[in-house]
Amino acid sequence: MAKYITKRILMSVVTLFIIIFTLFVLVRIMPGDPFPVERMTAEMIELKRIELGLDRPIPIQFADYMARLLQGDLGNGTSLYNGAPIMPIILVCMENSFKIGVMSILFGSGVGLMMGIAAALNRGKFIDRFCTICSILGVCVPSYVFMIFLQYFFAYKIPFFPYFFDPSNFFFSAIMPAVSLSLISIATVARFTRNEMLEVLDSDYVKLAKSRGLYGFKLIRKHVLRNALIPVVTVIAPLVVDLLTGAMVMEKIYGVNGLGKLMVDAIAGEGIDYNYVLALSILFSSLYIGIMLILDILYVIIDPRIRLTAKEKV
């Protein structure tokens, strides 16, 4: 098992390295300068390029970048934010994105679980159909429609929640962004929970438990949920990464200072900020790779057969 895990970790590192290299070359051959040039003369632009070391061959720049990266230095912004160090700004944005993401996951999986359980326990009845329709809607309706709907009704028509996100009143103003993001997780978790629950409810050991006189909440909690939830957890993990990185629209609508918005700013500004684009891409890729790695390792621990089949194929 240790060998498999080592191999898997090494693969992740190589993947990350390839991603960094590709991105590094790509951002450098993209048209446009990494700083605003509208009011600068050609001579001033040239001086700036030399100052930033962009006149050197790309492999040398890359070696230099990697050397600094390995020391944990993400560098300074080139066009964005004053040429200030990147790290503190990414940390602030990450904190916002992360908190809202976690709120949304908690809310989404909570509601999703309840809906899934309710649907499974009332199979074929009204509640089941209602929950199924909701989860289909949740997958089909683009989440920004839901975001605008929420904002319009609960901040404008009924002005209860603040219209925009406000970091000085974090929890309250983050509710709507988080809820609007959670739609997809509600739908996914509800559907999965319902299917798994049904399977477990039909299984022999639940029938046995019932025949032994277990009933009601205790039965559901001890025997059904515990077995039904394992697959659900594996669905939630990739959702977490999606929520952390893919909330650009939500951040735009509610004015949240988060990672998605930061990425857009870095690309779509007057100059493409090389270092921000790289730093964020590295962050996003490592999150993905990291979560996938952990999941793979967990699978092996839970089910050693995975490792064996991998070996056989080699």
Partner 1 sequence: MNLKPKLKRFFIFPLIGLLFLVTACGRGTSENELKVMLGSTVVTLDTAHMQDSYSFEVVADCIDGLMQLDEKGNAIPAIAESFEVSADGKEYTFHLRDAKWSNGDPVTAHDFVFAWRRHCKIADEYAFIFDSTVACIKNAEAVIKGADPSTLGVTAKDDKTLVVSLDAPVSFFPALMSFPSFYPINEKFYNSVKEGSYGTSPDTFISNGAFTLDNYIPGTSNIALKKNESYWDANRISLKELRYQVVLSSDNALTAFKNGTLQVVKVAGEQVEHIKNDSELSKQLSFIPEGSLYYISFNQDPKNHHGGVLTNVNMRLAITNAIDRNSLVNNYLMDGSLPTYTAVPQKFSANVKTGKFFSENQDRYKDYVSFNLEKAREHLDKAKKELNRDEFNIHLLYSNDSGDRITKIVQAVKSQLEANLPGLTVTLQPVPKAEYLRNFSTDNFDIAVANWSPDYDDPMTFLNLWTTSNAKSTEYWSSAEYDKIISDCSTGNLAINYDARWDAMYKAEKILFEQAVIAPLFTNTNVILTSPKVSGIEYHTAGVDRVFKSAKVK
CA–CA gap between residue 121 and residue 197 (Å, rounded): 8
Q: Which of 164, 227, 248, 286 binds partner 1 (CB under 8 A)?
A: 164
Write down the least CB distance from residue 166 to partner 1, Å: 6
Taking residue 125's Cβ as centre, other Cβ atoms within 10 Å add up to 11
Tokens 């299917």 map to which residue?
Answer: 195
Question: Which of these, 104, 126, 131, lies nearest to 115 by C-alpha position?
Answer: 131
- What is the identity of the amino acid at 54? L
Q: Is 23 helix (H, G, I), strand (E, B) or coil?
A: helix
The residue among 12 and 260 lying less far from partner 1, judged by its C-beta, is 260
Token digits for 260?
């998605």
Name the residue nearer to partner 1 (CB basis): 114 or 141.
Answer: 114
Candidate ranges 65-73, 114-122, 180-188, 201-209; the one touching partner 1 (CB under 8 A): 114-122
Which positions from 238 to 277 touch partner 1 by CB under 8 A, shown as an x/- string?
Answer: --------------xx-xxx---xx--x--xxxxx-----
Q: Binding marks (x or -) toward partner 1, 184..223, rule CB under 8 A?
A: -------------------------------xxx-xx---
92 binds partner 1 (CB under 8 A): yes
Give me the amino acid identity at 282. Answer: I
Element (DSSP H or E) covering residue 223: none
Half-sphere exposure of 37 (CA within 13 A, CB side): 17
Nearer to partner 1, 199 or 265 (CB): 265
Cβ contact 78:274 at 8 Å: yes
State the CB neighbour count (10 A cutoff) for residue 124: 8
Count residues contacting partner 1 (CB under 8 A)?
A: 65
Interface characters, 41-80, with partner 1 (x: CB under 8 A): xxxx--xx---------------------------x---x
CA 166 – CA 187 distance, rounded (Å): 28
Residues that bind partner 1 (CB under 8 A): 31-33, 35-44, 47-48, 76, 80-85, 88-89, 92-93, 110, 114, 117-118, 121, 151-152, 155-156, 159, 162-169, 171-172, 175, 215-217, 219-220, 252-253, 255-257, 261-262, 265, 268-272
